[in-house]
């Protein structure tokens, strides 16, 4: 049975979700806050975390950011009562794999858990072992082992970040539309929005680019989407920088 750790300060909601998940074949663990989160992760090894955004003490965003900073790769689904676009963006920026806005139907959460677990087990853009190693700058991207490293030091990637970088590297020099990148990295099994790709690009640029505001590798193609430019290639005339685009992350989403 897949273990799901629910961290939420609402006892009734926690019990409701635990009961519903058990009916669908999951082993549900419960915590009212994050004080024992690290202990539970070590002791029970859950396959996925469901984190409430608003909790006393360390909230879900802070907890997710802390876990990702130390290299924790387990999938995280964020629960938020503030189902605004900026909250979704913040959750994704902190490393969450998906979000669910309150109130929600428990069936939706189960569907998203199953979708995220499928992506984590076999990300849509992940190759089979032996997918090869791609080097750019000081970076070594092992596509078969799903590792990104520099000077022997590994930089952890979420499943979504790996799938996106892998899709772009596999289509180097080819401008990719956001819609196509969503298909390659998230599949058709969950509701997605194109700004999720913008957020992941923003995170990857901060990780691999010397100057994220003027990206060398992950370039914006205005009116299209993004393109990965390898070291041996000239900068495409249609590609743009990242400063204006990153500033647009706080703008209202397109209709």
Is the model's pTM score more than 0.85? no
Over the stretch 146-161, which tens digit does the pLDDT of each residue have? Answer: 889 998 899 988 877 8
Q: Does 3 score more than 70 pLDDT?
A: yes
Q: Does 252 score more than 50 pLDDT?
A: no
Domain end among 121, 145, 168: 121
Compute the distance between CA of residue 97 and CA of residue 115 in angstroms, rounded to an integer: 10
Q: Does 247 score more than 50 pLDDT?
A: no
Q: Does 143 score more than 90 pLDDT?
A: no
Q: Does 246 score more than 70 pLDDT?
A: no
Q: Count of domains in the chain?
A: 2
Over the stretch 201-226, which tens digit does the pLDDT of each residue have? Answer: 999 999 999 999 999 999 999 888 99
More confident residue, 247 or 82: 82
Do 10 and 72 lie in one domain? The reply is yes
Q: Does 104 score more than 50 pLDDT?
A: yes
Could you tell me the CA-to-CA distances from 35 to 60, 70, 161 in Å, in that order? 12, 17, 28
Identify the domain containing residue 69 by its residue range. 2-121
Do 6 and 93 lie in one domain? The reply is yes
- Asked if 196 and 186 touch (Cβ cutoff 8 Å), the reply is yes
Could you tell me the CA-to-CA distances from 234 to 147, 171, 174, 223 in Å, in that order? 26, 16, 13, 20
Length of the chain counted residue by residue: 255
């Amino acid at each position: 049975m897949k273990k799901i750790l629910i961290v939420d300060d609402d006892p009734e909601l926690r019990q409701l979700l635990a009961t519903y998940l058990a009916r669908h074949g999951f082993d549900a663990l419960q915590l009212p806050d994050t004080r024992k989160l690290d202990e539970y992760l070590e002791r029970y090894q859950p396959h996925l975390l469901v984190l409430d955004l608003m909790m006393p003490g360390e909230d879900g965003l802070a907890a997710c950011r802390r876990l990702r900073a130390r290299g924790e790769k387990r999938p995280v689904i964020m629960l938020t009562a503030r189902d605004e676009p900026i909250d979704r963006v913040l959750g994704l920026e902190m490393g969450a794999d998906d979000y669910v806005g309150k109130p929600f139907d428990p069936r939706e959460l189960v569907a998203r858990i199953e979708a995220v677990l499928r992506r984590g087990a076999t990300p849509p853009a992940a190759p089979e072992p032996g997918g090869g190693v791609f080097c750019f700058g000081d970076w070594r991207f092992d596509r078969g082992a799903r590792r990104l490293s520099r000077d022997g030091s590994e930089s952890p990637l979420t499943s979504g970040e790996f799938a996106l970088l892998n899709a772009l590297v596999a289509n180097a020099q080819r401008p990719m539309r956001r819609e196509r990148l969503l298909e390659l990295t998230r599949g058709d099994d969950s509701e997605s929005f194109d700004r999720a790709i913008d957020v992941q690009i923003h995170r990857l640029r901060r990780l691999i680019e010397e100057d994220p505001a003027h990206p060398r590798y992950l370039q914006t193609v205005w009116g299209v989407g993004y393109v990965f430019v390898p070291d041996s290639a000239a900068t495409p005339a249609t590609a743009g920088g990242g400063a204006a685009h990153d500033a647009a992350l706080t703008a209202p989403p397109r209709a």
